[in-house]
Structure 1
Amino acid sequence: MSLSRTPADDVAPWFYWISIAEGELPPDLTVRCGMLGDQACMRLLWGGKWTAETLDGYQEYDPGEDGITLYFGPQTRFMPISVTGSYRVITIHLITGAPPVLGGPSQGDLRDRIVIHDDLVGHGKLTRKVPLELGYDAWLSAVEEQLRIFLDKTDRPDPDPLTAAFERECLVSPDFAIADFAESAGVSTRTLERAVQRDFGISPKLVQRRARALDMAATLLGVARPEEEPDMRLRYFDQSHLIREMRHFFGMRPTELTSGPHPFLRLNMESRQRRRLKALEELEALEAQGAAPWRDPVAEPGWKGRP
């Protein structure tokens, strides 16, 4: 079971999405999957025995009834994750660029890593603030209130609009020229590279390459719009190029992504697809005012002869 929604307006500039996932499993049943998340997120876990293969090696977590909150840094490759037994999870997705302005850890330092959130903040347990005895709406409201309390203790600076625009372009069509984007934004290529490295934890080129792989994976998993599949495949030179990239980012061939159940990865991709649809809506609003100079409107999905 999964339930997701956007946070309240006063929280939304920094936190993109809040989701609940719950699984009732036999105590000895293990689900093995994984995920590739391009945004940092916090996951509140109750129940189950969890494992993850991170940059720091094999990790084990046993949340118990009291729960544990984990901070996931942005990922550059598929992270294998398993859970044994029944579980509950609330995931809070941070907007790209939010961790640096909110005093969070370096995106580069936490790339492909997981740290215990309680160790980061040094006080309290976030999982104790959630009334599990009540319904899902109460869970979401409680999480929002804790985010609001945290924001009230900061200056609430907004994420950098430069990297927000860069992310939007990568979500819509990641094959644009970086130098052209920087010029249109009125910054040097070096300034753009520093901003992207700070907010994404990786280089602009790798952000684009990962975005292509995530879009293709969403298509293979059946959570993308079917009519976009030809455009996604044309981003690769040939089938061997596609296979190499899927192996690099996911450790699997395209056929393995298509044939397997991949429950955690599918939820991961569905959340990103919502961000992509929002980016497409924002692009349409921008195009109504004149297409951005680094774009080729004819190459965009859904183009219908607009001048």
Structure 2
Amino acid sequence: MLLSRNYPPSPELEPYIVRHYVFAAELPEDLTLEDRLLSETAFVRILIRGDWQAEIAPGYWAGAGPVVFFGPNELPLRVRVKGPFTVAGFAIHPGGWKSLFDRSARDYADQMIPLAAAWGNIADRLWAEAQNETDDARLIAAMEHAILARLAWIGVRAPDTRMNEFAEIARADSTIRIDDAAAKIGLSVRQLERRCLATFGLSPKAVLRRSRFLDMATAMRGFSSPSEEELAALRYFDQSHLTREFKRFAGMTPRAFERTTTPLFTAGLNLRSQAFARSTADFRLKDGMPR
């Protein structure tokens, strides 16, 4: 059984962190699951227990230690887990990237590395505080301590709120034209492209393509109920276009995706839908709108 839980960051960290999460599975000791992950954000994962690896080169599986940093995904990452596991972590807002990292997000795209390679001994202190923890609240506190320490070390650079706005636009309207999205946040297309590469690690077009695929996959897995108009907007130009996008982002055709059990990928879609529902409600409340 797979159990996933989302938690919002503290108000102080909202511009930098999308969410905290805890993901646990009570699986048989001899069961091995292989699946794919496709995240909309860079994220940190703490392996509290279990055996978790990723395919870092064709046919070569490896871990990256107990506290791992996953760069932005442009391509699906094949992962393998054996037996029961518990992981905790946090997803990073694109707008918070430059406040937490001293290199471009593009440098980390589709990479999995020990967090210590980017954050030094802050990652080691995080592991020391989290490794034996079973309480969600204390796990989240440990992660927030580490994030605050990193912000202080970098120098608390102001978050790029326009990139966070673009992230919200991509989630809410993945079929929007790039020039329209740029105009909405007060940037030229060239400015949007440059800042997207630095903070998302991807071009604006790639961000929207990935979001559109995830919107369709979420609907196919039953975690969203788009209206007929919204579903029509998500549909691709023709079957070959749909197939091409599914092969790119899921590594299989749409028909195969419908038939295939993808427990880890599906849990990620569920976490995504929960977080999006919460952020949409928060946005409405900020604007004085009812839920």
- Could you list the per-position Cα deviations for residues 182-229 of structure 1 after superposition, in whole angstroms to 9, with x for gaps in the alignment? 3444432211111111111111111111111110111112222x2446
Aligned to 2:7: 5
Shift of 1:278: 4.7
Q: Which residue of structure 2 aligns with residue 296 of structure 1?
A: none
Deviates more, 1:141-150 or 1:1-10: 141-150
Determine which structure has more spread, i.e. the larger CA radius of gyration: 1
Query: 8 Å contact 1:216–1:233 — kept in the other structure?
Result: no
- RMSD over equivalenced CA pairs, Å: 2.7
**Displacement of 1:36 after TM fit?**
0.2
Q: Which residue of 2 aligns with 1:139?
A: 139
> CA–CA distance in 2 between the matches of 1:204 and 1:23?
35
Structure 1 residues 238 and 62: CA distance shift in structure 2, 3 A? closer
Partner of 2:249: 249
Question: Residues 24, 253 of structure 1: CA spacing in aligned structure 2 closer, same or farther, 3 A cutoff?
Answer: same
Give the stretch that moved more between structures: 147-156 or 250-259.
Answer: 147-156
Change (3 A) 1:219 1:198: same
Q: Is the 8 A contact 2:106 2:200 kept in 1?
A: yes
User: Deviation at 1:99?
Assistant: 2.1
Q: Once structures 1 and 2 are overlaid, which stretch shifts more, 40-49 or 229-238?
A: 229-238
**What does residue range 1-307 of structure 1 map to in structure 2 within 5 Å?**
1-54=3-56, 58-61=60-63, 68-123=66-121, 124-130=124-130, 132=132, 134-224=134-224, 226-228=225-227, 231-235=230-234, 236-278=236-278, 280-281=280-281
Q: 1:180 to 1:22 in 2, by over 3 A?
A: closer
The residue identity in structure 1 corresponding to 2:108 is L
SS of equivalent to 2:256: helix
> What SS class does the counterpart of residue 74 from structure 2 fall into?
coil
Identity %: 27
Long gaps (5+) in structure 1:
290-307
Deviates more, 1:159-168 or 1:139-148: 139-148
Q: Say if 1:238 and 1:159 are closer, same or farther in 2 by CA, change over 3 A.
A: same
The CA deviation at 1:134 is 4.7
Aligned-partner Cα distance in 2 for 1:243–1:229: 21
Which amino acid is the alignment partner of residue 39 of structure 1?
Answer: T
Deviation at 1:259, TM superposition (A): 2.9
Structure 1 pair 244/109, CA: closer, same or farther in 2 (3 Å)?
same
Alpha-carbon offset, residue 181 of structure 1: 3.2
Contact 2:33 2:80 (C-alpha < 8 Å) held by counterparts: yes
TM-score (norm 1): 0.82
Q: CA deviation at 1:11?
A: 2.0
Q: CA deviation at 1:244?
A: 1.9
Mark the runs of 5 or more structure 2 residues left unpaired by the alignment.
Answer: none
SS of the aligned residue for 2:105 comes to coil
TM-score (normalizing by structure 2): 0.86
Report if the CA contact (8 A) 2:99-2:154 is conserved. Answer: no
Amino acid at match of 2:231: M
CA distance in 1, matches of 2:30, 2:96: 39
Letter in structure 2 aligned against 1:143: M
Number of residue pairs matched by the alignment: 284
Q: Which amino acid aligns with 2:31?
A: L
SS state of the match for residue 86, structure 1? strand
Deviations 1:14-33 (A, max 9, x none): 11111111223333221111
Aligned partners of 2:287 and 2:179: how far apart in 1? 21
Superposed CA deviations along residues 23-81 of structure 1, whole A, max 9, x for unmatched, are 23333221111210010000001333222124687331285xxxx10000010122110
2:75 maps to a residue whose letter is R
In 1: Cα distance, 2:78 partner to 2:106 partner: 20
Residues 264 and 109 (structure 1), Cα distance of their counterparts in 2 relative to 1, 3 Å cut: same
Greater Cα offset, 205-214 or 263-272: 263-272
Distance in 1 (CA, whole Å) between partners of 2:198 and 2:160 is 10
SS in structure 2 opposite 1:97? helix
